[in-house]
Structure 1
């Protein structure tokens, strides 16, 4: 598997680690600002299959140091349970709350307010779904490399998560901690800000995945269907994926995110409206 067994020379690793520490010390302990009507996510994440869109009826698998597909510059190695579009939605809102406190400090919220913000039904099943998503993201190890980072950055999407007390009873306010390393990924010049109401209104799947991907490009360039299959982490045959792709493109036009699209010889070209 490309990149899974290669190692940097020891001196380079030490130098890279020292540069990471220096970069962290030089940066503010807070994430950048964005309006309440938006959510922000690093381009490297949107342009990868980290949050895939496999069928929700398929059992999630555990990935052990697997290279995740990335379109364009960068490499992502991942260890943990498979992440999907519902996890991305939860992470988007969590990071939005986290920007209001210093990184490394506790982020508190009621499960009711969080579920309501996601647009999920207010019921016990949604609270458990939220708990499962947060627990899943806590148990992750992600190594991201790109030209702008200059080296591998190792992070967990969530540093710590607590929803039950010492008696294993539900807490009225849940607690999450996001590590300081996250500031390195959230550089203002390499973030995509998406409309929150639009994002959470989309069904989890190809439509929401491609919304994020094309939102990270002001002027999207043509891309092959087979490349989008990899981006979505789909296991569908390409001809079946193409059918679902056309439905997703039609939906993105309907919500006025895309102005137009066409597929010519398996090359997908889109024009953004905004």
Structure 2
């Protein structure tokens, strides 16, 4: 009994010391605001395979906590049915409705209004599609680590209640996922994104490129991993990539691009804020 008591005391002292040494986590402030024409998107969602550039019928299920591809400085581990760009569309629209609110407050909307805002039909199949998206967003487990110092995990991007009679939703966004905004976020032009509907790789590229003022050259194999592609070989993916970049160039998102062997070089027009960032880097 004395041994157990000593071990208990040592454990309690260790826990107390760890709590004292731990960095204090400040309460999350209100979600940032942005213009109605934009969608604020955490960079961690744009620079990783968390929301893959794949079709819905290409999804896989991660049955254990799996490390997804991401850029340096971000680690993403995921458990659940694979998310794609259509899931990101829904989450971003709910975040958009919630902007300037304090965490813990809910947002209410009808399925009809959300589907209409995303440019989708409003029939029975679309309502069922939305239910599936909400289930994926609510059931996924995500763990993030930034620069090897902060890790946080939470089940679900959101919690929700649905009135089956009216198809109205009451949604609360989970705090851990909203903390992604604290690690950097990008304004995505919603009208541009709407032009890329049903083109998942082009949608993923649009987000990835939007999060960079001046995209750096990338290997095709790197884009393959980061986009979460399930294409069987790089040759087929290269064809998909060229088609997606042609689409982005056609609507002015990309000025021009070159695929030289395994290297992709892309030039895009920076936003005004990105141009100021580039100017500051040059003057510094």
**Corresponding residue SS for 1:66:** strand
How far the C-alpha of 1:210 sits from its partner, in A, is: 0.6
Residue 209 in 1 paired to residue 208 in 2?
Answer: no
Shift of 1:63: 3.7
Name the counterpart of 1:154: 153
Between the aligned partners of 2:211 and 2:107, the Cα distance in structure 1 is: 27
User: How does the TM-score come out when normalised to structure 1?
Assistant: 0.86
The counterpart of 1:199, out of the listed 150, 171, 193, is 193
Q: Please show how residues 1-274 of structure 1 align to structure 2 within 5 Å.
A: 14=18, 18-19=22-23, 22-25=24-27, 27-28=28-29, 30-147=30-147, 150-164=149-163, 169-187=164-182, 190-202=184-196, 203-236=198-231, 237-274=233-270
Whole-angstrom CA distance in 1 between matches of 2:20 and 2:204? 32
Distance 2:180 2:251 in 1: 29
Distance 2:208 2:142 in 1: 19
Q: 1:58 to 1:41 in 2, by over 3 A?
A: same
CA contact (8 A) 2:40 2:96 kept: yes
Please name the residue that 1:4 is paired with: none
Larger helix share, 1 or 2: 2
Give the C-alpha shift of residue 58 in structure 1.
Answer: 2.9
Paired with 1:151 and 1:208, the residues of 2 have a C-alpha distance of 29
Q: Which has the larger radius of gyration?
A: 2
Asked if structure 2 preserves the Cα contact closer than 8 Å seen for 1:24 and 1:180, the reply is no
Residues 16 and 151 in structure 1, CA contact (< 8 A), matched pair in contact too: no
| Aligned equivalents of 1:199, 1:256: Cα separation in 2 | 12
Q: What SS does the corresponding residue of 2:97 show, helix, strand or coil?
A: helix
Instruction: Measure, in 1, the Cα distance between the counterparts of 2:44 and 2:245.
Output: 22
In the alignment, structure 2 segments of 5+ residues that lack a partner are 1-13, 271-284
Aligned residue pairs: how many?
Answer: 255
1:101: Cα distance to partner?
2.8
| Distance change (3 Å), C-alpha of 1:136 and 1:251 | same
Q: Secondary structure at the match of 2:58?
A: coil
Q: Give SS of 1:23's match.
A: coil
- Gap change, CA 1:73 and 1:157, over 3 Å in 2: same
Q: What is the rounded CA distance, in whole Å, between the counterparts of 1:90 and 1:117 in structure 2?
A: 10
**Structure 1 runs not aligned, ≥5 long:** 1-9
Distance between the aligned counterparts of 1:55 and 1:186, measured in 2? 26
Q: After TM superposition, give the deviation of residue 156 of structure 1 in Å.
A: 3.8
Shift of 1:69: 0.6
User: What is the TM-score of this pair, normalised by structure 2?
Assistant: 0.83
